[in-house]
Amino acid sequence: MAAWWRSLFGPRFWVMAYGAMILGFVLPAGWLPETFLQGMVPLLLGGILFFSGLRFPLWEMCEAACSPRLYRQLLALLPVKLAVLPILAYLCVLPFLPAWAVGVYLVMLMPMGLSSIAFTDLYRGNRMLSIALVVGSSVLAPVSVPLLVMVIQPSDAERLPWLPLLAQAGYILTLLLLPLIASQFARGLFPRTVARYQLSWNAWAICCSCLLVLASISGTRSMWQGAAWESLLGAVIACSIATLVTMLAMVPLWRLMRREDAVAFALGSIFMNNGLAVAFALQFFPNQVTMILPAVLMQVPMVAGTAYIGWLAMRHHRLVSVDSGGKQIE
């Protein structure tokens, strides 16, 4: 029984994530001030990265940063995440739910989510590639978002000026780097404590991620509480189509790439930075429900997609572990 409870902050994280999501929707308005909940978002993001950073040493990050193979992977994978997948999702949503297609497209343009690093570690993916993809997509987003919005909606591209996008990119990189640096200081100052609880740090990161789901939904109540249930359902279906398209696009990559790399890329592509999409939608498309709701509700299929990719990854590891040689053939 104790193992099952521990798994709620491990492979069964989706139970806690959906529980937090339901609480976010049903808790009465004002149970905590929205400003407080919104202020908790960067702290929880920092917690995710701090606890994830305790899991790997500085030398491992430096070694990865000096690898030419890593840069070749970034050159190949970042265009897929930032351009190919959003356009595919838009084209698939458009025939069925045209009113939601642009809103879903905007969410899909966002960089990879910071939480994807914790999930990559949980499911034994390439965590160094995951960090590099998050950093790379966050740096490129200020350029890629307006250019790719212009492809679909030229008139809307004018609403996305470069300066606010650059400011958001700087904010994301600060959120990314400061907790990772702090985690390395903690490793140096308290090596025995960090080593003793090495297996628990990712559970704390998952806990922060679930609390982040609660804070992000409850903290945006004023944006969605007036929407009809039909609108909420339409947004969820449109977001689910986009997530399904992303997962199907992973099938050939799953065969072409090393499994650890494929896990990192798949999780980052599915668990995107939808919080940044909420900020964009509120700032540049205020009072447009079809732009705001997909950014908020993308979390519904994101959690399911992440859990499924994780299940596939762990199933692969179990199959490899019973192989007579114990070695994976790439």
Q: What is the pLDDT of residues 276-319, one digit of tens each?
A: 888 777 777 777 888 888 988 999 999 999 999 999 998 888 87
Q: What is the pLDDT of residue 159?
A: 59
Taking a C-beta distance cutoff of 8 angstroms, is the pair 44, 204 a contact?
no
Residue from 18, 19, 24 nearest 38 by CA: 24
167 is written with which tokens? 């400011």
Percent of the chain with pLDDT over 90: 49
Between residues 330 and 273, which one has the greater pLDDT?
A: 273
Domain boundaries, the chain: 13-315
Taking a C-beta distance cutoff of 8 angstroms, is the pair 273, 110 a contact?
yes
Residue 86 predicted with pLDDT over 60: yes
pLDDT confidence of 323, banded at 50, 70, 90? low
Fold of the 13-315 domain:
Na+/H+ antiporter like fold (1.20.1530)
Q: What is the pLDDT of residue 329?
A: 39
Helices (H), the chain: 2-7, 13-26, 34-53, 58-65, 68-79, 85-93, 98-108, 115-122, 127-152, 154-157, 162-189, 191-196, 201-218, 221-224, 229-256, 259-270, 274-284, 289-297, 299-321
Q: What is the pLDDT of residue 324?
A: 46
* Of 180-189, 214-223, 262-271, highest mean pLDDT: 262-271
DSSP state of 28: P
